[in-house]
Amino acid sequence: MAAFAQASFTGAGQTTELDCGGESASITGAGNQVHISGDCRLVTIEGADNRVHLSMAKGGTIHVTGASNEIHWSTPDGSRPRIQITGADNRISPMK
């Protein structure tokens, strides 16, 4: 049986890197800069003014609750992840 990996971060005004190991990651807080690797199936972001760069698995989901978050994603095949947003002024786009 495979182990379930999860990466989580809670903070304010921090810079950090996470690896979700092909499973899930969560970020809670404000004003953080976070880089997430590991082809995540689910990424949950709660808070405001976070800047997040993440690696998503094909068919993955990004769930954002909060305001003024900026999320840049990539997938192995360039396909768009499912995106669920609750809040205002959140920007979600593919990495350039």
pLDDT tens per residue across span 35-68 = 999 999 999 999 999 999 999 999 999 999 999 9
The verdict on residue 48 lying in a domain is yes
What mean pLDDT is predicted for residues 1-27? Answer: 84
Q: What per-residue confidence (pLDDT) applies to 6?
A: 61
The verdict on residue 29 lying in a domain is yes
The CA-CA-CA angle for residues 47, 51, 56, to 5°, reads: 95
Q: Where does the pLDDT of residue 4 fall: very low under 50, low under 70, confident under 90, or very high at 90 and above? A: very low
The verdict on residue 39 lying in a domain is yes
The verdict on residue 79 lying in a domain is yes
Domain count, the chain: 1
Q: What per-residue confidence (pLDDT) applies to 96?
A: 83
- The Cα 17–Cα 22 span in angstroms is 15
- The Cα 15–Cα 62 span in angstroms is 20
The verdict on residue 49 lying in a domain is yes
The verdict on residue 27 lying in a domain is yes
The verdict on residue 95 lying in a domain is no
Taking the whole predicted model, whether its pTM rises above 0.85 is answered as yes
The domain in which residue 56 lies consists of 18-89
The verdict on residue 7 lying in a domain is no
